Structure 1
């Protein structure tokens, strides 16, 4: 017990910075306090002196581990953000290109419609038959020519109608893709804000 007491007295005085000379401090403590109480007190001081740095070191290690995990999570968010940025950019480029196609197709559709209207106006108002002096049956010729003209009008009308459906399908796709892009962009902005908040907490 005496050797342990001397060890803890020496250890505690060295840790708390109390000057010693020839174990005078330990002798003084032994005179003032009972040996058992002195031993317990010095043992408590020594344990505290050991445990406090260990607790601080453990806290720092746990804190660093938590920060490292948060940084790993932020790195994943950054990678995801970079990936989504590329996806959004490609989708936006496709939307803009489709809008340009719709604009050009709309102009072409207007031109085709005007051509059809001109043909129909000619057929209804100014249609004339070529003169065949040697042909005795003008009615047969008239019916053949008109039938060909009617088929041409029907073909043009069918093409214009199908072309219009293609344009409408592109317009519908652009509207839907734009809504999806806006929704995804809003979600990404929310994630970016969360990421910025996490960075702020890490730096605090």
Structure 2
């Protein structure tokens, strides 16, 4: 049987809650990461220095969601109840039992905390255990070493590099580094993520 395509839902962990992304999250998101060039240099397009500018980016994500391209989530910090970033399922193919986790960012205050570990644990658990996916991929810019290290820490396997994959906003070309987790690898990755979250 093919996998089940993802749909908007709420996924709750110890530290964060993933909920369907909406325009109502905009003020929190701007407070978390608006104007931070280090976040947005890897997201494509100019850094949003105003809430309206971030609203344009958010609207683009939601428009893609309406077309079925993305299933985006706000990452909500449970202790404060405020959105601190967003993430998405994309490149969804239920017949081939695969999807991608991407378009992810968090406010700088939450880097190297339990947030990324738990976000990935929730998304991967939902993808493999509830949707029946056989492959989940992640990709990042070959120059974004921080992102590559974060993906490797969750236990995803580096597959290779797609050269000259995407034009950056400045006109230069990005190579994309691909990682994946397969269904048969998921139990050990889940154990690893659960242990990391507890530390």
Same fold by TM-score, threshold 0.5 exceeded?
Answer: no
Larger strand share, 1 or 2: 2
Normalised by the shorter chain, which TM-score bucket?
under 0.3
TM-score, normalising length: structure 1: 0.17
**Which has the higher Rg, Structure 1 or Structure 2?**
1
Q: Return the structure number with greater relative CO, CA threshold 8 A, min gap 6.
A: 1
